[in-house]
Structure formats: C-alpha cells, structure tokens
Structure 1
Amino acid sequence: MSQGKVTIAQGGDKGMDLTQALDGYCERLGPAFWAEPWNALSNLAFLVAALVMARRLRGQALPLAQVLTGLLAIIGLGSFLFHTTAQVWSALADTLPIVLFALVYLFAANRAYLGLRRLPALGLALLYLPLTAVLTPLLSALPFFRISAMYWPLVGAFLSYALVLRARLPQVARGLVIAGGLLTASLTFRSLDMPLCGAVPMGTHFLWHVVNAVLLGWVIEVYRRHHLRSLAAPASDR
C-alpha cells in the first residue's frame, strides 16, 4: 500500500454540502468505497458488542439499557457508512449516534447511580453538551488532543462520576474508572492514526473502533450489574 495521501476533491458550493468528500484518515488513499477496509470492517466489533449485550439483557426490565444497545449497533452502522462513503452526510451518521449514546447513558447514570428524578437527570445529562462545546476549542489547541477534542470530555465525565460514587457505589465507581481507561486507550489510537501513518500504512483508527466497542458494551454492563445488585439488595438498602 502506498504511503502517500490522495487529496479528495472538496465541494465548491457555499454552505454545507452533504455529499462533499472527506479524507481524514491514514488508510484512505482515494475515493473508492473500500478505500478503508480496516476502518470499515472493524465496525463489526460494535455489532458483536451489541449482540452480546442484547443477550445479556434478555428478560431484564431495563429499557434504557435496551436503547443503549440499539444505539451501539447504530454506531457501528453509521461508522461503516462513513468509512466507506466518506462524505459529510455519513460523517454525521457516524458522530451523532455517539453523542446520543453519551447523553442517554448520562441520563441513565443520573437516574440509577445518583437517584435523580427525570427532569434533573435530563438537565444534568444535557449539561454535557455546553461543557463539551467549551472544552473542545481548548483541547483543539493541543496537538495530540486536537483530532479527538470533542470526545476527551467524556473521559472526565466517567472519572467525575466515579469520584462522586466511590463511597456509596464502589463497584460502579470502579467500572467507570475502567471505562475512563478504555476510552483513553481508544482515543489514543484515534489520535495516533495520522502521526504514525508512515510507519503503519493501515493506520490505527480501526483500533479506536475495536476498543470503543468494548468500552460501550462495558458501560452498559456496569449499568446492568448495578440494576441486578439493586434488585438483590434489601429494601432498606435501596
């Protein structure tokens, strides 16, 4: 595989052109559908993780976990579309389900871990959006963090919840620390894709998919296990 990059034509229309071609990854050397085979096929990891969690959730009354599992599968499909068609519309199909997953999980965490009512839980979850909007430009100024700037605040969110819950729900806290570590690893692979392109022609972005699939399945599992512990606990402890 050639190590040179091919610049894909950019749309010339003013405003957002949803069919504008994008080229932001080491593996892509042209506009062909299968120009990113590793990046495209590694999205199977999301579907496998979704299947595993769907089986683990079978027969359990956890609608938010079911929603998260569905979003996990949609993330894989959206990412596959992006790494094959590589256009603006598919970039949105790739990114928006990830943001939605984060918001739904934070809402579920606020309800299950913090014990908040629906409206406060929703408000606190939505606070993630303006906080990310503020932090993203700051992180974009840092070379290593620039490519994944919008995702790094979620590491802080996992660790913040873990800190708050460390005494009351230590098992959940440990699970969220593990989640923060997994996300840090996956973001590291995402950030090293272009810097290591000369040495690793297929890039490292596909490892972001694989580790991220494990991460998303894991946080659903943390939520599921907490639910099972809550059911098993005496009424006085709930």
Structure 2
Amino acid sequence: MDWHSHINAYCERLDAGFWSEPINAITNLAFIIAAIWVWPRTKGLPLAQALTAILFTIGLGSFLFHTFATPWAALMDVVPIGAFILLYLFAVHRDIIGLGRWGALGATALFFPFAAIAVPLLNILPFFHISGFYWTVPILLLIYGLALNKIPGIRRGFLTGAAILAVSITARSLDETLCNVLPFGTHFLWHILNGVMLGYMILVYCRHMLAGAARGR
C-alpha cells in the first residue's frame, strides 16, 4: 500500500490540496469543543476521562484525514473511533451491567464477531451499505437501551444516542448522493452530530456513575 496516495471520497474535495475540504476539516472542532466541555464534567472518573481524551483525538485524527487525505491519515481517523467504541462498551459492561473487569473484557470482545456478522448483512442493504460498519453502533445502543430499561437514565440516554447517531450516519451516507445539489456535501454534519453524540454518551455514563456514588454514601 502507498501510504501517501491521494484519497478522494467526499463531495467537497476536488483536488489533492491540503485545504480542499475546508468545511469538513474545520467542523472537526465539534469533537474538540465537545471534549473540552465534557472534561470538567467527568468529575475525575478514570474511564470517562479516557473517553474524553479519545474524543479529542477523534477530532485531530479526522482533521488529518480531511486535510492530507492519505491512507496514513485515514488510519489516524478510524483508530480513535474504534478505541472509543471498545472502551465505551467496556465501561457499559463493567460499570453499568456490573460484569467485573474480566467479564467486561470478554463481553466487549464479542463486538468483533457481532460486527463480522452484522456488517456483511448491512452491506447488502440499499443505502445502509454506504456506512455499513458505523450502523453497528446505533444498533448496539438500541439493543442495550432496551435491555437495560430498568436502570435509571440508561434507556433514554442510549436511545437518544442511537437516534442522534442514526441521523449522523444518514448525513455521512448522503454526502456523495447529494453532490449535484450540495457541492460541499453533507459529511460535515457527521462531524457536528458525532461531536454532540459522543460527548452526550460520556455524560450518560458519568451521570450513572455519579448517581451510584451518591446512593452509596
């Protein structure tokens, strides 16, 4: 693989220039602003702080991808996203479901066979195939939200997160389809909505943890 080859995947990009996607690049500030805003609200919770730090790096990684537009920059884009998904799942399994460290690690590892089954199925569906992998996340949030409906705040939090993310993925998927109507595309909405959604999901976790600590006093 040529790690420095040019990737042209979005409406806004017309050439290989660094600032060929100005809107897509600048809207990565949504992740950084969300991380800065959420950080003091983590109240020292280690996993919440780790998730917030990853949220910040998502903004940096995505900025690199939408400026350099190369395979190495694409890797900087997707690795933090994957890390956020896995760490959040671990937090859910350990601290919300209460499986303990090793049980949470095992349950989190099940994401890989889940994705291995779900992504090929999503990829054969019209429209969903455009962002097949990403749809696995709102599906999981929906499943967990319904399954954990008796835990205060979790059902509403997870279902709200799933709804925001579904709209966000839809915007991502419509980008190239709407090029003739919107030359700058709709991918920038994916950044803005994801910044809101990921920050919100960290707060859902924090509220659960802090409420439990308050009840334990």
TM-score (structure 2 length as normaliser): 0.97
Q: In structure 2, the residue corresponding to 1:183 is in which secondary structure?
A: helix
Q: Map 1:75-90; keep pairs closer than 5 Å.
A: 75-90=58-73
Structure 2: unaligned runs, 5 residues or longer: none
Aligned-pair distance for 1:234?
4.6
Structure 1: unaligned runs, 5 residues or longer: 1-15
Indicate whether 1:109 and 2:92 are aligned. yes
Q: Map 1:110-149; keep pairs closer than 5 Å.
A: 110-149=93-132
2:209 to 208, 216, 227: 227
Indicate whether 1:72 and 2:55 are aligned. yes
Query: Whose helix proportion is higher, 1 or 2?
Result: 2
Aligned-pair distance for 1:108?
0.3
- Which moved further from structure 2: 20-29 or 75-84? 20-29
- The higher radius of gyration belongs to 1
Aligned-pair distance for 1:142?
2.2
Q: Please give the alpha-carbon distance, in whole angstroms, between the structure 1 residues aligned to 2:195 and 2:44.
A: 23
Q: Deviations over 1:53-87 (max 9, x none)?
A: 11212xx2310000000000000000000000000
What count of residue pairs does the alignment treat as equivalent?
Answer: 217
Q: Map 1:11-90; keep pairs closer than 5 Å.
A: 16-57=1-42, 60-90=43-73
Match of 2:178 in 1: 196
Q: Deviations over 1:193-233 (max 9, x none)?
A: 01111000100000000000000000000001001110121
Q: Deviations over 1:10-65 (max 9, x none)?
A: xxxxxx221121111111001000000010000000000000011212xx231000
Moved over 2 A (4+): none
Q: Please give the alpha-carbon distance, in whole angstroms, between the structure 1 residues aligned to 2:8 and 2:118.
A: 25
Indicate whether 1:187 and 2:176 are aligned. no
Match of 1:5 in 2: none
**Considering only aligned residues, what root-mean-square deviation do their CA atoms show, in Å?**
1.1
1:218 to 197, 200, 207: 200
Q: Please give the alpha-carbon distance, in whole angstroms, between the structure 1 residues aligned to 2:24 and 2:125.
A: 25
Q: Please give the alpha-carbon distance, in whole angstroms, between the structure 2 residues aligned to 1:212 and 1:140.
A: 22
2:146 to 163, 168, 188: 163
Q: Please give the alpha-carbon distance, in whole angstroms, between the structure 1 residues aligned to 2:9 and 2:185.
A: 11
TM-score (structure 1 length as normaliser): 0.89
Identity of aligned residues (%): 49
Match of 1:7 in 2: none
Aligned-pair distance for 1:100?
0.6
Q: In structure 2, the residue corresponding to 1:28 is in which secondary structure?
A: coil
